């Protein structure tokens, strides 16, 4: 897996919308960089971490992911 993904790639990886990935970035939940081609990229490990935490919360709303 690439260390940095476009919003579209991150959305496809997680099954979330591109806009959701953008919201996570705007909220500071995932790191971003501006690539040489001018596109914004998100760190794949951050995307997977946040997706895992959000999924765990949806499955067990009273518990926090470890």
The domain locations on the chain are 4-59
Digit-coded pLDDT (tens) for 1-49: 899 999 999 999 999 999 999 999 999 999 999 999 999 999 999 999 9
Instruction: Give the chain's length.
Output: 66
Quick count: other Cβ atoms within 10 Å of Cβ 44?
17
55: its two tokens: 């999924």
pTM, full prediction: 0.80
CB 8, CB 23: distance < 8 Å: no
What DSSP character marks residue 29? S
CATH class of 4-59: mainly alpha
Residue with the larger pLDDT of the pair 7 and 63: 7
């Amino acid at each position: 897996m690439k260390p940095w993904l476009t919003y579209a790639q991150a959305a496809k990886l997680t099954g979330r919308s591109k806009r959701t990935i953008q919201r996570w970035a705007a909220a500071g939940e995932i790191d971003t960089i501006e690539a040489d081609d001018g596109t914004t990229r998100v760190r794949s490990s951050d995307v997977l971490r946040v997706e895992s935490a959000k999924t765990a919360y949806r499955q067990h709303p009273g518990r926090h992911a470890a």
